[in-house]
Amino acid sequence: MDNFSDKSGVFVNPSELERQRKFTELVKTVLTARFGNEPKAFVHTYGCQGNVSDSERIKGQLRNMGYTFVLSPEEADLVLFNTCAVREHAEDRVFGNVGALKPLKEKKRDMIIVLCGCMMQQKHISERIKKSYPYVNLVFGTFAVHKLPEMLYTVLSRSKRVFEISASDGLIAEGLPTERDSGAKAWLPIMYGCDNFCSYCVVPLVRGRERSRLPEDIINEAKELIAGGAKEITLLGQNVNSYGKNPDCGVNFARLLRRINDIDGDFIIRFMTSHPKDCTHELLDAMADCEKVAKHLHLPVQSGCDRILKEMNRKYTRAQYLDLIRYAREKMPDLSITGDIIVGFPGETYEEFLETVSLIKEVRYTSLFTFIYSKREGTKAAKMPDPVPYAEKSKWFRELCAVQEETAGKRTASMVGKIYRVLTEPNETEGKLTGRTEGNITIEFDGPKKLIGQFVNVRVTDALTWVLFGELAE
């Protein structure tokens, strides 16, 4: 493994991780002297499951440095925001929330404020933080997660602000400690970065080049998770369908799925996100064959119009996408399909938008994540003329959502009376529990808390557009 790591240039050198372990001990000593035994950290995560998974590794490192976790910034000695850059709205929220920390920091001078993640990896953002938010102590990008102990030590021991956003293609740091948020549901990253450069998307700019973890590392982690009580494992990557190319692992995603499916135990496998251009029949066959793989495919189409797909650099056509859906449904008649749509890409006309509407009617998605195009600095689309006003795009957006609501409502209504096996999750209302069907539709039902983390059968008794209600069944 060591030889392999050095040759591939994809993995963080183990000696670097050893160095960081030494800094972990140093931070612990400083913290004990300053706060007593239990300094408290508040960690908040914005954005996708990739960020949630990074935060689990950030929290694992903080835990090893001696931190315990609290639920509000007011109780914390360290506040960390792991940020998202995918749309402007996400960034605005972060600025708002960082601004709200100022009075807190004025009251509690030795509180440490840390910002990290995709948004910070962008130079114009970290410059803005440097200039306009002087009370932020540490800013680091997506490539520096494993250096947290060293960065924090510099902040603590030298009372110095640290900005670590050096550009990099990105490396994989194996073996970082992980603090998991939920026992039964686990996130398992299989790859990082993205090489697709969809013209609207900032992810390849802030997450570096596509790189895959080795199959053995993934399988070992999956086995550990299952042995530790995990009942649902979600494999994560920006484009899981191209798993295994860098470094060449000799195992593609279809084969990886089969190997995880072969692990003993009662658990369910989910994955996201699939890119249509790399979604092969081999993968769909593997999904159909593997009894532990949820029959749910999240396959973002973004647009139903060939000209827009080309401008987006998505590398498939509407017809190719629909062919895939047809094949997938032939193989898995109960397959639940979800997707992502962007409304109002630069230069899109109303007629082109209507092609997306016709596509979503044809596919009959279970649900959709629908976004109005958001201009991202540094992307190709940011330079394209974008004449349609936001108010007009919002109208199109509502039109599309109304069509999707009708499809979703019909689907949930048709589920009433049927029984589904779901993994029980907590629900905020006393006496209530939540679960999700294989197809990823939420069901609420009554039941005791002791069922949380177990599979149960639930009979659907009632349905709204996006949620089902049910009762425990035999």
Residue nearer to ligand SF4 on the CB measure, 211 or 275: 275
Residue nearer to ligand SAH on the CB measure, 201 or 458: 201
Q: What is the DSSP letter of 250?
A: S
Q: Which stretch binds ligand SAH (CB under 6 A): 4-12, 200-208, 346-354, 423-431?
A: 200-208
Closest approach of Cβ 300 to ligand SF4, in Å?
7
The answer to whether 296 contacts ligand SF4 (rule: CB under 6 A) is: no
The answer to whether 388 contacts ligand SF4 (rule: CB under 6 A) is: no
Cβ atoms of residues 412 and 427 within 8 Å:
no
Closest approach of Cβ 397 to ligand SAH, in Å?
11
**255-284 mask for ligand SF4 (x: CB under 6 A)?**
--------------------x---------
Cβ atoms of residues 427 and 373 within 8 Å:
no
| φ, ψ of residue 168 in degrees (nearest 5) | -160, 160
The Cα–Cα gap between 469 and 431 comes to 14
Closest approach of Cβ 86 to ligand SAH, in Å?
5
Residue nearer to ligand SF4 on the CB measure, 197 or 390: 197
Q: What is the largest CA-CA distance in the chain?
A: 66
Closest approach of Cβ 416 to ligand SAH, in Å?
31
Q: How many residues bind ligand SAH (CB under 6 A)?
A: 17
Q: How many CB atoms lie within 10 A of CB 75?
A: 12
Reading the block at residue 63, the tokens are 């835990």
Q: How many residues bind ligand SF4 (CB under 6 A)?
A: 10
The residues near 10 (Cβ < 8 Å, ≥ 6 apart) are: 171, 172, 211, 246, 247
Residue nearer to ligand SF4 on the CB measure, 111 or 120: 120
- Token pair 């540094």: residue: 378
Residue 61 interacting entry, from ligand SF4, ligand SAH, none, C-beta within 5 to 8 Å by type: none
Residue 87 interacting entry, from ligand SF4, ligand SAH, none, C-beta within 5 to 8 Å by type: ligand SAH
Half-sphere CA count of 337, side-chain side, radius 13 A: 24
One residue of 212, 238, 246, 424 binding ligand SAH per CB under 6 A: 238
Closest approach of Cβ 93 to ligand SAH, in Å?
15
For 9-36, the DSSP string reads S-B--HHHHHHHHHHHHHHHHHHHHHH-
The Cα–Cα gap between 413 and 433 comes to 20
Between the alpha carbon of residue 1 and those of residues 6, 143, 249, 354, 433, the distances in Å are 9, 21, 13, 52, 44
| Site for ligand SF4, residues 182 to 201, rule: CB under 6 A | 194, 196-198, 201
The answer to whether 122 contacts ligand SAH (rule: CB under 6 A) is: no
Residue 342 interacting entry, from ligand SAH, ligand SF4, none, C-beta within 5 to 8 Å by type: ligand SAH
Helix, strand, or coil here: 387? coil
One residue of 41, 172, 201, 279 binding ligand SAH per CB under 6 A: 201
Q: How many CB atoms lie within 10 A of CB 2?
A: 10
Residue 204 interacting entry, from ligand SF4, ligand SAH, none, C-beta within 5 to 8 Å by type: ligand SF4
The answer to whether 407 contacts ligand SF4 (rule: CB under 6 A) is: no
**298-337 mask for ligand SAH (x: CB under 6 A)?**
--x-x-----------------------------------
C-alpha 135: how far from chain center: 29
Residue 323 amino acid letter: D
Residue nearer to ligand SAH on the CB measure, 211 or 275: 275
Reading the block at residue 64, the tokens are 């090893």
Between the alpha carbon of residue 265 and those of residues 262, 268, 341, 364, 415, the distances in Å are 9, 9, 36, 33, 28
Helix, strand, or coil here: 249? coil
Which residues sit opposite 442 in a β-bridge?
Answer: 436, 467
The Cα–Cα gap between 163 and 128 comes to 12
The answer to whether 87 contacts ligand SAH (rule: CB under 6 A) is: yes
The answer to whether 303 contacts ligand SF4 (rule: CB under 6 A) is: no
Closest approach of Cβ 227 to ligand SAH, in Å?
30
The answer to whether 270 contacts ligand SAH (rule: CB under 6 A) is: no
The answer to whether 84 contacts ligand SF4 (rule: CB under 6 A) is: no
- Binding residues for ligand SF4 (CB under 6 A): 194, 196-198, 201, 203-204, 238-239, 275
